Structure formats: structure tokens, C-alpha cells
Amino acid sequence: MNTLTSNSIFVGVDVHKYGHSAVALDVLGQEKGKLDFTNQTLLPFTTWLASLGDKDNIVVGLEDTNCYGTHMVESLRKESFHIRYVPAILTERERKRSTKREKSDYVDAKRVGRVILTKYEETLPAKESIADERELQTARSLDLLLMERRDLVKHKTILKNQLHALIYQRYTESYRTVVPRSFTKKSIRWFLSDTRNDETILAASIVRRLLRLLFVENHIYAISKEITIIGSQSKEALSLTAIHGCGMVTASAIMAEVITVKRFADKHCFSMYAGVAPTERSSGRKQTMHTNPFGNRQLNKAIHTIALSQIAIKGDPTGKEYYQRKLKEGKTKLWALRCLKHQIAKRVFQTLRYC
């Protein structure tokens, strides 16, 4: 559904672990019905939706499915209902603007429906509505692996920070004469051999953390390898690796968030979704551009990684030239980087669209 009609029906759904609430609204915002259901009673939900009118006129709005709404979304996809995802920030704004700021499952579901009704163009069609089975399966697999990898990388950083402090307590800076780099495989072996026979609590703490660090690094390596294998089977991810600074893990992170480029009307819509397009704030003769703090932060981070790689010493000549040109125009380093990210987002969109 690309256009709304006078017969359109908007169904807002508030998703929870043990139950969901749905409220149907017509184009005037008047309530047409409501229903409480669970993941075990999805058939009554789809039957209730079908009773509201023509399926082509029904838009189901979901604020955030996470893992609790996956069965519901799959059921809606099989029945070919049109699904749209509503950013949580929009429903929060709807609540703050209301004179009655009460909160309940019924009220939240109604707010989701009102956001679809009044801000349809600011929402995106759900991936389940327009992506094919191959794209969905690839995105789900990559999303699970990348989520696990991000958690492991965070834990790896925590361990390294703790080890830096503990190793300094034991050796001060003297250890760098033997192992200049702290956490290479060679360095870790040296630390382990030097501290294993030490019975102090400090040495034991270092050994335990070093062993956990090795364990985490092995898991990160294994997951990255699996991501590369799955990403290599996707023509979209492979085409993204042609962009300088975009490795297979970064390309897979982009595909896990985008799923299918058919969700976006044009490159500007894609840039706004990624949070790299600046927002305008103007009044009279005063026109200013500001950073967009919203958008998909994981997609933004992937594009940020590509941008940093392109302006590095061994980066992309075209990217560095564009970055330096923006600096000469008087822009700050941070704003010049944002401009480069905007250009990269456009190229990502074009690459996915024509691959």
C-alpha cells in the first residue's frame, strides 16, 4: 500500500511478552474496534482484522516487535497484511502532546494507530511486507550473529581495560621492554607463563581475565567467520564490499538493518533512516542545518566505520579529497565527516538498488 484512501483502516498494536493489544481506527481517527490476544491466539486476531474490511485497505502498525512479536508478524505476513513499523519516538511525542498522558496497553495501541494515521510518511513498511524469503532469512541470521558479536566485543573491551590496570599494578611500564604490545597472542602467552606460578590474588586475577579474553576472542573469530560465509552468499552484501572501507562484517551489518532496499522510496529517505542526513531548522531569513540524532543507530555506525576508513592514511583518495574540500570550506572536522557519511549513504543506496 503506497497511498491512503478514505476506506483505509489503521490498526495499532502494542506488543508485550504475555499478550498484545490492538485498536482499529478509521481515517477520521474514530475507533472501530479493539482486541486483546496472545501469541497462542493469533488466528482470532487475523480473523478480527479480516472482519474490519478489505485487506488492501488495512494497515497494521507495530511499534517494536523485538522477539515477542515475531510469531505475530509471521502470521500477518502469511495472510499478506500490510505492516508498517512505527519509531518509538513518534508514539512518545504523541503521548507528550496529549492532554491525557495516561499509559496502558489499550492507550499505547491507540497511539500507534494515530501515528500511522497522521505520520504515515514518517514510517517504513515492515521488512516482512515486501522482502522475499531469501532476504528475510539472510537478515535474521546476520542480525542474530551480529548481536552476539557486538556483545562479545563489548566484553572484550571491558576485559582489556581491566587488564591494563592490573598489569600496570604488577609490572608498571617495565613489561613493555619484553612485550611492546599488550594483547597479542605472543604477549598473552608471556603474561600467562610469568604469572601462573605466582599465588598472589593480583596474579590470579590477571590469569583468569587473560583466559577469558582468549575465550572471547576465539568466539569473535568464529562468529566473524560465520558472518563472512553467510554474507558471501548475498549478492547485496558482496556488492557493498566494493565500497572502500566496507568489509564483509560491515556490509553484513548494513544488510541486517536494511533487509531490502525496496523499503525506501529514494536515497534521501534512506539517508534519513540512517540518521546521516542533516535536518533543517529555519525561521524567516535564518536557515541552519543540524545533526539528526535519530535514525537507525546500527546502520549509522556501519556508515561511520566506512567513513573513518576512507579518511585514514591508507584510505580512499576520493573520500579524503571530499573530506579535505569540506574542511577548506570552513566546516569543522566533525561536520565534514558527517558530510562524507551522507555521500557514503547515497552510494550504499545506489549500490543496493542496482546490484
Distance CA 210, CA 182 (A): 11
Three-class secondary structure of residue 210 per DSSP? helix
Distance CA 64, CA 256 (A): 16
Whether 242 maps to a domain, the answer reads no
Domain end position, chosen among 114, 130, 146: 130
Do 166 and 123 share a domain, yes or no? no
Do 23 and 109 share a domain, yes or no? yes
Distance CA 108, CA 12 (A): 8
CATH number at 102 reads 3.30.420.40
User: What is the structure's pLDDT at 1?
Assistant: 54
- A 10 A CB-CB count for 239 gives 16
* H helix runs in the chain, sequence order: 42-51, 70-78, 88-97, 105-118, 127-130, 133-171, 185-195, 201-232, 235-240, 248-258, 267-274, 297-310, 317-328, 333-354
Distance CA 351, CA 92 (A): 34
Domain end position, chosen among 64, 97, 130: 130
- DSSP bridge pairs for 82: 59
* Host domain of residue 157: 134-233
Whether 238 maps to a domain, the answer reads no
What secondary structure letter does DSSP report for 63? Answer: S
Whether 239 maps to a domain, the answer reads no
User: What is the structure's pLDDT at 355?
Assistant: 79
User: What backbone torsions phi and psi does residue 290 show, to the nearest 5 degrees?
Assistant: -125, 160
Please enumerate in sequence order all residues whose Cβ is within 8 A of that of 152, keeping only pairs 6 or more positions apart, or say none.
Answer: 216, 219, 220, 223
Do 194 and 221 share a domain, yes or no? yes
Whether 171 maps to a domain, the answer reads yes
Three-class secondary structure of residue 23 per DSSP? strand
Domain end position, chosen among 83, 107, 130: 130
Do 14 and 113 share a domain, yes or no? yes
Do 202 and 272 share a domain, yes or no? no
Cell numbers for 347: 552510494
Whether 4 maps to a domain, the answer reads no
Helix H or strand E encompassing 14: strand 9-14
Do 151 and 69 share a domain, yes or no? no
Whether 32 maps to a domain, the answer reads yes
Half-sphere exposure of 347 (CA within 13 A, CB side): 20
Q: Crossing angle for the helix pair 133-171 and 201-232, nearest 10 degrees?
A: 160
What secondary structure letter does DSSP report for 278? Answer: P
Do 37 and 86 share a domain, yes or no? yes
Please enumerate in sequence order all residues whose Cβ is within 8 A of that of 268, keeping only pairs 6 or more positions apart, or say none.
Answer: 277
Do 21 and 124 share a domain, yes or no? yes
User: What backbone torsions phi and psi does residue 138 show, to the nearest 5 degrees?
Assistant: -65, -45
Q: How far is it between the farthest Cα atoms of the chain?
A: 79
Cell numbers for 21: 493489544
Do 265 and 331 share a domain, yes or no? yes
Do 126 and 143 share a domain, yes or no? no
Do 167 and 80 share a domain, yes or no? no
Do 66 and 117 share a domain, yes or no? yes
Whether 1 maps to a domain, the answer reads no
User: What is the structure's pLDDT at 65?
Assistant: 62
pLDDT tens digit sequence for 122-177: 788 887 777 788 888 899 899 999 999 999 999 999 999 999 999 999 998 888 88
Choose among 80, 119, 136, 112: nearest CA to 263: 136
Whether 2 maps to a domain, the answer reads no
| pTM of the model as a whole | 0.83
Type of residue at 170: R
Distance CA 319, CA 308 (A): 10
Three-class secondary structure of residue 153 per DSSP? helix
Count of domains for the chain: 3
With a cut of 70, which residues of the chain have pLDDT below it? 1-3, 64-66
